């Protein structure tokens, strides 16, 4: 007879890993991708018509980590649940960031209210600055309130493209694909 822990531990590992990945993705986006890793990430902040960008290599690296953890889970089972959490986070990233915000899927959807609108606007504000410095909102699943981000952009004294808040056009100059 299995105990509650038999099911609870894997669930907590998966959910905890998804939460950790949002923290880690936010941290690495701010300090690596907008720091020494700008060489890959810069492609994401430039307009282009290609299906892929150099920035997609970050997703390949994270997928490689998840695959390695799935393999290592054969020897120590908790790594399988951690790998599943990373994979779920990768799916959320794909849907929210690549799909919803950057419209990298075959149909267009611009959210008009609620959580999805907040994520959409927060990431548009991230792209409202022309270079790697002075950006705001580095997370992918959590988005701070838009008013807080606008205030932060003004405090950065970098100036930003106000069209980032427009809802009707997903491909404004402030929002490279």
Note the pLDDT of residue 107.
83
Segments making up each domain of the chain, as ranges: 4-165
Query: How far is the CA of 35 from the CAs of 25, 105, 158, 171, in angstroms?
Result: 14, 28, 17, 25
Note the pLDDT of residue 157.
67
- Describe the crossing of helices 114-126 and 146-155 by its angle, rounded to 10 degrees: 10
Note the pLDDT of residue 156.
84
Alpha carbon distance 131, 161 (integer Å) = 12
Alpha-helical segments (H) within the chain? 4-28, 38-41, 57-72, 78-93, 114-126, 146-155
Give the pLDDT of the chain (177 residues) as one tens digit per residue: 689 889 999 999 999 999 999 999 999 999 999 999 999 999 999 998 888 999 999 999 999 999 999 999 999 999 999 999 999 999 999 999 999 999 998 888 999 999 999 999 999 999 998 889 999 999 999 999 999 999 999 888 656 667 666 665 544 444 565
| DSSP secondary structure code for residue 64 in this structure | H
Note the pLDDT of residue 21.
98
Note the pLDDT of residue 171.
45
Note the pLDDT of residue 88.
98
Note the pLDDT of residue 173.
41
């Amino acid at each position: 007879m299995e105990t509650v822990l038999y099911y609870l531990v894997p669930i907590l590992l998966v959910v905890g890993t998804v939460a950790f990945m949002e923290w880690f993705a936010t941290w690495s986006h701010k300090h690596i991708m907008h720091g020494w890793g700008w060489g890959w990430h810069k492609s994401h902040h430039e307009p282009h018509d290609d299906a892929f960008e150099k920035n997609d290599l970050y997703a390949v690296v994270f997928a490689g980590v998840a695959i390695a953890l799935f393999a290592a889970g054969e020897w120590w089972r908790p790594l399988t649940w951690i790998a599943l959490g990373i994979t779920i986070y990768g799916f959320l990233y794909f849907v929210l960031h690549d799909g919803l915000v950057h419209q990298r899927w075959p149909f267009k959807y611009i959210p008009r209210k609620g959580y999805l609108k907040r994520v959409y606007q927060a990431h548009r504000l991230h792209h409202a600055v022309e270079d790697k410095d002075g950006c705001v909102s580095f997370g992918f699943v959590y988005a701070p309130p838009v008013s807080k981000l606008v205030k932060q952009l003004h405090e950065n004294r970098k100036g930003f493209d106000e069209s980032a808040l427009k809802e009707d056009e997903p491909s404004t100059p402030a929002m490279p694909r």
